[in-house]
Structure 1
Amino acid sequence: MKFSTTSVILAAALGVSAHPSGHVHQRAHNSVQARGDFVMANKPAVAPTSTSAPVATPTPSSAAPAKDATSGGQGTGVSTYTKFCQGGNSKRATAAEIAYKGNVGSGGDYGCNIIAVQNHLVSQYQYTMVFNNEGDDAECACWNKIGPDGGINGFFNGNEAMKFSLPAGGKQTVAVDSNSQIGCTCGAGSLPLTPIGQFAGTWIEGDVGNLSNGGWSGWDASSLVAAAAGMDIPGLNVCGTGAQEGTCSTIFPGGTGKNAFIAGTAAMDGLGLNSPPGPQSVIVTVGFKG
């Protein structure tokens, strides 16, 4: 899938001493430029966008989504359907803005395009990730590729859109607005970080309802950051539902994988789930043992 190219940037960024931004290390920049199928994001625009319509539109709750939460049996977050980015008006981006930035929220509320919702609401949002924990109690974070300062640094600790706890055996639904380029990772006990503060572990990456790609989505599992840093690689399984059922992107504990971005695959494309426009939910198995 297309979003995985961001991991090329991340792997290269491990060799620098500061957070990458619009002027990323030239080696990473060259890697991205060589891929004509990837929407460039090294010159993010200022204006965010929020464009998707949910599958169902019941009366929205006035409750605001929590940025940090703890997952229980029913999942944490809003208990009734709640619109994304309630704090301000959405703005449709120009084609150029979409190509550079995509959706990171609106109305001055960075990250409001990714929210935790209770599990019974999964069918009321167009794009969702359902996290199931087969391992130990975990902490999780989700981020936008583009950080709050407009740089390619949303995957650094402190720049994330939201965090949540996922107890052993727990389940949590996360809803994502359209035209978002996002990632999430979980760590047993605490979130793993590289020496320069990037989220490590094993990621789920999502290029969600990309308007510059006709509304297609892509999802994959990636361990490129942890592999480049020589860190532990936990198992993660990302599987489609509906028409995509049976298609998975899998990383096994230790770093081997199937249809996923593992060490040595940074230059590859076409891995993961590629989904046509329309409602999509993926099942994310944290602590996957194979």
Structure 2
Amino acid sequence: MRLNNSLMLLAALSTGVLARLEGHARRHVLSTTTVTELVTITACPQSSCASSTSTPAWTTSVAPVTTTPTPEYTPTPEPTTSTASSAASADWTSVPSDGTYSTSGFGASTKSSGSSDTYKGNVGSPYGSNIITVDASVASEYKYVVQFTGSSTDEWEVVIWNKYGEDGSMDGWFERACHTFKIAAGETIYYAFDTDSQGGWAAGKGSVPVNDLGEYASTWGEFDLGSTVNSGWSGFDVSAIVAQDSDMTVQGMKICDALGDTCSSITSGAGTVSNAYTSAEADEGGIGGNLSAGAVRLAVTLDYSE
């Protein structure tokens, strides 16, 4: 689905470093506060450093959106340290009945800046603390949660990055991951993301490949979670653009909205592509899942095959 002058996904990249920098940020500020139809959007990083096919579209109006930075808060004294669970939690998709979400383990939220392609959301203070690993038993307490399920046969490596690197440049996918972890065959690992986080992750058998430009060059998952500039909407997609443009292997990956019925997936070698980005769609917008404001639960299957 193509978004109308609003939420453009990170995934649409084109060849060349400059083109990648611009394409990766394919997301426009809403030009109106009036929404008559819902659309679908997308949006990701370890610490250091889809919607159902919504048919509605954003309507242009005269009232401009005022970007309100995410309020800062004091980090909790005891950050979460659990890293993995060998079995998926039966209730990780549940949502607190009182609408109150945990922020335990997150650093302070950074202020947003820029607009359109240059929009910079929350990257955490200290850098990368907007993304944390959490135990399956507490995953449901957080607002934005991603469940990673490993390959059925091999250990894989996963890297997660913020759209903006620690030095403030829009280059988080150039070997500037703020989280790196190994996931064993069949293992399940959970990550929680703070509000207004944008970025992506890449995965590979044994290690994540890198191209000559220094970009992570395996299949990507991209995310935009609780976007302040887009009135709290979230989005996600799977993208093979960098891998294909680099003439490197396209790994299988599937991302599904566990609270809805939208998925984005690519099988190994791009044999089957469903609601996801390949080089052919690099200039398109709106592919993937676009979720209205609220809790997000994304289920990621690595080494995906049908």
TM-score by length of 1: 0.75
Deviation at 1:82, TM superposition (A): 5.8
Higher relative strand content = 1
Q: Which amino acid aligns with 2:155?
A: D
Cα shift readout 1:58-113 (whole Å, capped 9, x = no counterpart):
xx6614658xx6x45269xxxxx662444xx545446769963111112xx11111
> Gapped runs of 5+ residues in structure 1?
14-24, 40-48, 54-59, 76-80
Distance 1:4 1:228, change over 3 A: farther
Q: Does residue 124 of the first structure (1) align with residue 172 of the second (2)?
A: no
How far apart, in 1, do the equivalents of 2:70 and 2:105 lie? 8
Which residue does 1:148 correspond to in 2?
166
Cα shift readout 1:3-45 (whole Å, capped 9, x = no counterpart):
6345426x422xxxxxxxxxxx2x5577689x78368xxxxxx
Distance 1:178 1:264, change over 3 A: same
How far apart, in 2, do the equivalents of 1:96 and 1:3 lie? 12
Q: Does residue 169 of the first structure (1) align with residue 186 of the second (2)?
A: yes
Which residue does 2:196 correspond to in 1?
179
Q: Is the 8 A contact 1:104 1:113 kept in 2?
A: yes
Q: Which amino acid aligns with 1:205?
A: E
How far apart, in 1, do the equivalents of 2:297 and 2:287 lie? 18
How far apart, in 2, do the equivalents of 1:31 and 1:97 lie? 11
Q: Is the 8 A contact 2:268 2:305 kept in 1?
A: yes
Identity %: 31
Which residue does 1:219 correspond to in 2?
236
Cα shift readout 1:105-141 (whole Å, capped 9, x = no counterpart):
12xx111111111122221110011001134111111
Distance 1:101 1:119, change over 3 A: same
Q: Is the 8 A contact 2:146 2:299 kept in 1?
A: yes
How far apart, in 1, do the equivalents of 2:112 and 2:250 lie? 37
Q: Does residue 100 of the first structure (1) align with residue 119 of the second (2)?
A: yes
How far apart, in 2, do the equivalents of 1:63 and 1:103 lie? 18
Higher relative helix content = 1
Distance 1:139 1:50, change over 3 A: farther
Q: Is the 8 A contact 1:138 1:167 kept in 2?
A: yes
Which residue does 2:55 correspond to in 1?
none
Which residue does 2:99 correspond to in 1?
none
Q: Is the 8 A contact 1:3 1:205 kept in 2?
A: no
Deviation at 1:51, TM superposition (A): 4.8
Residue correspondences, number: 247
Q: Which amino acid aligns with 2:283?
A: A
How far apart, in 1, do the equivalents of 2:138 and 2:276 lie? 29
Q: Is the 8 A contact 1:251 1:257 kept in 2?
A: yes
Q: Is the 8 A contact 2:11 2:239 kept in 1?
A: no
Q: Does residue 83 of the first structure (1) align with residue 104 of the second (2)?
A: yes
Q: Is the 8 A contact 1:5 1:266 kept in 2?
A: no
> Gapped runs of 5+ residues in structure 2?
31-68, 89-101
Distance 1:186 1:5, change over 3 A: closer
How far apart, in 1, do the equivalents of 2:111 and 2:143 lie? 18
